[in-house]
Structure 1
Amino acid sequence: MMKKWWHDKVAYQIYPKSFLDSNEDGIGDLRGIIGKLDYLKELGVDIIWLSPVYQSPFVDQGYDISDYYAIAPEFGTMEDFDELLAEAKKRGMYIIMDLVINHCSDKHEWFQKALADPEGKYADYFYFRKGKDGKAPSNYRSYFGGSTWEPVPGTDQYYLHMFAKEQPDLNWENPELKRELFDMVNWWLEKGVAGFRIDAIINIKKDPAFPDYPADGSDGLVSCTKMVEEVEGVGELLEELKKETFEKYGAFTVAEVFNMKDDELREFIGEDGHFSTMFDFSAAVLSGGGKGWYDSRPVSFKEWRSALFASQLEGQGIGCLKANIIENHDEPRGASRYLPEHAQNPRGIKMLGTTSVLLRGIPFLYQGQELGMTNCPFHSIEEFDDISTKDQYRVALEAGLSEEEALQATARFSRDNSRTPMQWNSGANAGFTAGTPWLKVNPNYTSVNVQDEENDEDSVLCYYRRLIALRKSEEYREIFTYGEFIPAFEELDGIFAFSRSLNGRQVMVAANFAQEQRTLLLPGQNAKLLLSNDSGLTESKLLSKQTEALQITLNPCDCAVFELFP
């Protein structure tokens, strides 16, 4: 495997609107981020991914960009951004931007010009199509519900939007549009960003005929993903994007990819793939309902473990490193989603973190994950801001659920769970703002916050610092970066265990998600305890020799990392 500068790094996603407010307007900003760089450095973070900070009407929280070259005034100025780049560089840290190039805002200059002249140059920057028999050009349902086609006022035409109607899709078949996008990407790379997280990128390839497909719902529509899955040729566009931009700068790129075809992983992130890496969503997609969030099914531990292990082996098989996550801005909190009820406590949260951070691949933490932040209790649909949550609430009501049932179903998966303000201290508004926060603060901030956890050596935060320090230590950096991933004890329900092996050395991670004590027979004769999620779990308590075999005994929520010796 050819070594790259980003292979041994730890990344951290910041949702700027919710990170830290420096000017008391209730919205997080760039100056708030600058003020917390030392906190992130001490945590062990190398790469900071910023969710969109571009100028935007914020219909979809900044993923509707109206000017790719401007910072949204809510977040600050371009001077603030330049200062952030400079301060990060001083600390040996890298900033990556969120790249949203499947669509833009309907307030973008390009789209405004397209509306003004639906037959002109800029209309071809988008997908304008005539209706069929007085109806939309095709029967696609958008990601946020309803038709993907919006009528163009005063004409017989419609424009395509796979997300909200305020997010028209860009036409990647147009060479002029592509050149505009490539120039923009290079402008940011010239400025000094280290790369990009690339949003919804597989959607850029469309079938320009936009054929109808059989409906998959009572609304007579079919998910727009059907067209994405059927169309060929996205690889050619992605390779052109890479050659014209990322490759020239040695940029780090992490792609958000759904609906990829089975044989495309090597093409996407292999040795000479389109991207440096891509997020592993193998666990996140398990609970998806066929009709909406309301019919999402519970996922068993065995399914969850099997999905992650299979994904690890798949990436290893082609010599690539995936990006490993527990949560992000589009997902509920991992501590509330993946832990059984008996493990939803600080020890369980540390256990979950360990099994993720030490996998093969690049760990991506999401803000507040290192504190053990959880889903937020929401009591009415009015408390939500997220456009997708509101759509799923409507879908649940239309399916016959009561208001209470619909709220409960959507609250579990709402994206607002991860977007509540960062919890800095136990003071007013969790120390996030001296103003009125744009979204409610999770009431558990009085016990789950940075200030209190920094003063508690047994806290989730202090544990994450030790966990990341182990991964990046001189002695174990190579094995955790390039070591082979080997699943272990798969026959035992409730045990999440694997080893990392390199050059004759072997480190094992073992965690007990079950409600009963488990005893594991280990392959080595001796072991050295490197880390455990409880200060009381000493080497002598965990490990013992029985008839020449080494064994480890794990109580519920116990997690240990140890090096094995022959």
Structure 2
Amino acid sequence: MQYKWWHDKVVYQIYPKSFMDSNGDGIGDFRGIIGKLDYLKELGIDIIWLSPVYQSPFVDQGYDISDYYRIAEEFGTMEEFDELLWEVKKRGMYLIMDLVVNHCSDQHEFFQRALEDPDGEYADYFYFVKGKDGGAPSNYRSYFGGSAWEKIPGSDKYYLHFFAKEQPDWNWENEKTRRYIYDMINWWLDKGVAGFRVDAIINIKKDTRFPSYEPDGADGLVHCTKMVESVDGVGEFLEEMKRETFARKDAFTVGEVFNMKEDELREFIGEDGHFSSMFDFCAEEFCTGEHGWYDAREITLPAWKQAVFRSQMETEGIGFKSNIIENHDEPRGFSRFLPKHLQNDNGAKALGTVNILLKGIPFIYQGQEIGMRNCPMESIEEYDDISTKDQYQVALDAGLTEEQALWVCREHSRDNARTPMQWSAQANAGFTTGTPWLKIHPDYIHINVEKQEKEDDSILHYYQKLIALRKHPAWKEIFVYGKTVPVYEDSDCLFAYERVLGNESIQVVANFGSREAQIERKSEILLSNLSKVQQEEQSRGSSMALLPGQVLVWK
């Protein structure tokens, strides 16, 4: 495999609105981020991914962009962004942006012009389609619920929006649309960003006949992904985009790719793939049930590790996926993957270890390194997320009580990951001197950066050691390029694998059960979440007892 500069890097995702507020308006900003760059450097971070910071009405938290060339005033100015970029580079780190090009905001200049003349030039930048039989052109349901078509006032046409109605989809079939997007990408690359996380990108290819399909719900609609899964040709757009933009600067790109066809993995992340990497969403099968969040199936260790190992095996010899425990679109991994009896410091350390030492690019989401967890909202009014409000209603419509529907949101809401970063035990977790835009988790008194920086055995210090181990000169090659070989596969409590390169191997083994588990004793321990004294007490000749919540990394 040809070496690329990003192969051995560790990425940290910042959700700017919730990271650090410097001016007391309750919203995180660039100056707040700049003030925490040394913290990220000490953690061991190489690449920082910023969730959207472009000008936006924030209907969908910045994923509805009204101007790709301007910064949302909530975060600061373009001059402050340039300062942030310079400060990141000064520390030997890289900055990547969020690239949202399936859709924009209905406040975007081009869309406003299109509405003024639904038959004019700018209408072709979007999908303006005549209705059928007195209704929408087809029966697609958007990601956020309801029809994916919105009637254009004073016209017999509708516009397509896979997400909120305020997020019209770009028409990628129009060459002028693509050129506008490519010019914008190159503008940011020329400014000095190192690459992009590419949002919802599989959706850009549409079947422009817009056929209806058999409904999959009582509303008579079918999820819009049905059309995405049925159409071919997205690779042509992606290759053109790569050629016209990313390849010019050897940019690092990670795709948010769902609904990819089974035989397309090499095309997406192979040696000459569309992207450098793509997120490993193998655990997504546990997030949503047949009808929504409310009937999602419970995560069990055997099913979870089977999904992870299956993904690792299919990627072997092809390229790199990007491994996550959580992100801005998912609940906290601490609350999602750990059984109740292991929702503690050792459990958080074990979870981080088995994820970060897999083959692939490790992505750490803000707060993960201190064990932040789902926030117990008291009512649906405390949520901000548009998707959460939709799923709350879906649960009610399915017959759940208000309390049951609220419990579903507490388990699955995207706002679980969007509550402000917990920096200290001071008011508002040290995030802001004003009123925070979203509720702060009440456990910030006990779970915060300042407290963990003072504790030698904290989750934060463990993450520093874990990242340092992955980068250690003696082990880096095996962690970056070694195969993942599952071990103890039949165990219902052990999550274990070896990383193998040539004649060398390192074993990672964690006990997620409620009882001790006997394992074969290896030679040199490289990392453990228990003290050396505890480890020595467990050893019994060629075997040892692995305690609940314990993880070991050894030769």
Q: What TM-score, normalized to structure 2?
A: 0.99
Indicate yes or no: 2:254 matched with 1:254.
yes
Instruction: Name the residue aligned to 2:393.
Output: 394
For residues 521 and 533 of structure 1, the distance between their equivalents in structure 2, rounded to whole angstroms, comes to 18
User: Is 1:528–1:539's contact at 8 Å kept on the other side of the alignment?
Assistant: no
Instruction: Name the residue aligned to 1:346.
Output: 345
What per-residue deviation string (whole Å, max 9, x for no partner) do you get for residues 191-218 of structure 1? 0000000000000000000000000000
For residues 544 and 485 of structure 1, the distance between their equivalents in structure 2, rounded to whole angstroms, comes to 28
What per-residue deviation string (whole Å, max 9, x for no partner) do you get for residues 85-140 of structure 1? 10011110000000000000000001000000101111000000111111000000
Counterpart amino acid of residue 3 in structure 1: Y
Paired residue secondary structure (1:95):
strand
Indicate yes or no: 2:238 matched with 1:238.
yes
Counterpart amino acid of residue 18 in structure 1: S
Counterpart amino acid of residue 489 in structure 2: E
For residues 167 and 552 of structure 1, the distance between their equivalents in structure 2, rounded to whole angstroms, comes to 56
Instruction: Name the residue aligned to 1:366.
Output: 365
CA positional deviation for 1:10: 0.2
Paired residue secondary structure (2:466):
helix
User: Is 2:287–2:412's contact at 8 Å kept on the other side of the alignment?
Assistant: no
CA positional deviation for 1:287: 3.4
Identity of matched residues, %: 65
CA positional deviation for 1:536: 4.8
CA positional deviation for 1:500: 0.8
What per-residue deviation string (whole Å, max 9, x for no partner) do you get for residues 196-246 of structure 1? 000000000000000000000000000000000000100111001100000
For residues 535 and 117 of structure 1, the distance between their equivalents in structure 2, rounded to whole angstroms, comes to 70
For residues 537 and 488 of structure 2, the distance between their equivalents in structure 1, rounded to whole angstroms, comes to 21
Instruction: Name the residue aligned to 2:526.
Output: 530
Instruction: Name the residue aligned to 1:431.
Output: 430
Counterpart amino acid of residue 106 in structure 2: D
Q: Any residues of structure 2 matched to 1:269-348 within 5 Å, and which?
A: 269-318=269-318, 320-348=319-347
Counterpart amino acid of residue 137 in structure 2: P
Counterpart amino acid of residue 429 in structure 1: N
For residues 42 and 104 of structure 1, the distance between their equivalents in structure 2, rounded to whole angstroms, comes to 36
Moved more, 529-538 or 252-261: 529-538
CA 1:505 to 1:537, structure 2 compared with 1: closer, same or farther past 3 Å?
farther
User: Is 1:495–1:513's contact at 8 Å kept on the other side of the alignment?
Assistant: yes
Q: Any residues of structure 2 matched to 1:153-302 within 5 Å, and which?
A: 153-302=153-302
CA positional deviation for 1:285: 2.5
Q: 1:557 aligns with which of 522, 531, 549?
A: 549
Paired residue secondary structure (1:188):
helix
Indicate yes or no: 2:47 matched with 1:43.
no
Instruction: Name the residue aligned to 1:87.
Output: 87
What per-residue deviation string (whole Å, max 9, x for no partner) do you get for residues 524-556 of structure 1? xx51011101225655335443xxxx3232011
Counterpart amino acid of residue 223 in structure 1: H
Moved more, 61-70 or 501-510: 501-510
What per-residue deviation string (whole Å, max 9, x for no partner) do you get for residues 42-65 of structure 1? 000000000000000000000000
CA positional deviation for 1:41: 0.2
For residues 314 and 533 of structure 2, the distance between their equivalents in structure 1, rounded to whole angstroms, comes to 33
CA positional deviation for 1:397: 1.0
For residues 552 and 561 of structure 1, the distance between their equivalents in structure 2, rounded to whole angstroms, comes to 14
CA positional deviation for 1:402: 1.1
* Structure 1 segments unaligned to the other structure (5+ residues): none
What per-residue deviation string (whole Å, max 9, x for no partner) do you get for residues 294-348 of structure 1? 1111121100000001101111142x11100000000000000000111100100
Paired residue secondary structure (1:263):
helix
Number of residue pairs aligned between Structure 1 and Structure 2 = 555
Counterpart amino acid of residue 156 in structure 1: D
Instruction: Name the residue aligned to 1:501.
Output: 500
Counterpart amino acid of residue 537 in structure 2: K
User: Is 1:529–1:539's contact at 8 Å kept on the other side of the alignment?
Assistant: no
For residues 265 and 135 of structure 2, the distance between their equivalents in structure 1, rounded to whole angstroms, comes to 38
For residues 165 and 328 of structure 1, the distance between their equivalents in structure 2, rounded to whole angstroms, comes to 24
CA positional deviation for 1:284: 2.6
For residues 314 and 346 of structure 1, the distance between their equivalents in structure 2, rounded to whole angstroms, comes to 32
Q: What TM-score, normalized to structure 1?
A: 0.97
For residues 87 and 317 of structure 2, the distance between their equivalents in structure 1, rounded to whole angstroms, comes to 38
For residues 424 and 531 of structure 2, the distance between their equivalents in structure 1, rounded to whole angstroms, comes to 24
Instruction: Name the residue aligned to 1:118.
Output: 118
Counterpart amino acid of residue 430 in structure 2: G
Instruction: Name the residue aligned to 1:512.
Output: 511
User: Is 1:17–1:27's contact at 8 Å kept on the other side of the alignment?
Assistant: yes
For residues 149 and 304 of structure 2, the distance between their equivalents in structure 1, rounded to whole angstroms, comes to 36
CA 1:120 to 1:338, structure 2 compared with 1: closer, same or farther past 3 Å?
same
Q: Any residues of structure 2 matched to 1:376-455 within 5 Å, and which?
A: 376-455=375-454
For residues 362 and 174 of structure 1, the distance between their equivalents in structure 2, rounded to whole angstroms, comes to 34
CA 1:242 to 1:542, structure 2 compared with 1: closer, same or farther past 3 Å?
farther
* Structure 2 segments unaligned to the other structure (5+ residues): none
RMSD: 0.9
User: Is 2:335–2:343's contact at 8 Å kept on the other side of the alignment?
Assistant: yes
Runs of 4+ with >6 A deviation: none
For residues 279 and 82 of structure 2, the distance between their equivalents in structure 1, rounded to whole angstroms, comes to 28
Instruction: Name the residue aligned to 1:473.
Output: 472
For residues 532 and 414 of structure 2, the distance between their equivalents in structure 1, rounded to whole angstroms, comes to 36
CA positional deviation for 1:423: 0.2
Moved more, 440-449 or 473-482: 473-482
Counterpart amino acid of residue 324 in structure 2: I
CA positional deviation for 1:505: 1.3
Counterpart amino acid of residue 229 in structure 1: E
For residues 94 and 551 of structure 1, the distance between their equivalents in structure 2, rounded to whole angstroms, comes to 44
Instruction: Name the residue aligned to 2:31.
Output: 31
For residues 347 and 174 of structure 1, the distance between their equivalents in structure 2, rounded to whole angstroms, comes to 53
CA 1:360 to 1:552, structure 2 compared with 1: closer, same or farther past 3 Å?
farther
CA positional deviation for 1:411: 1.9
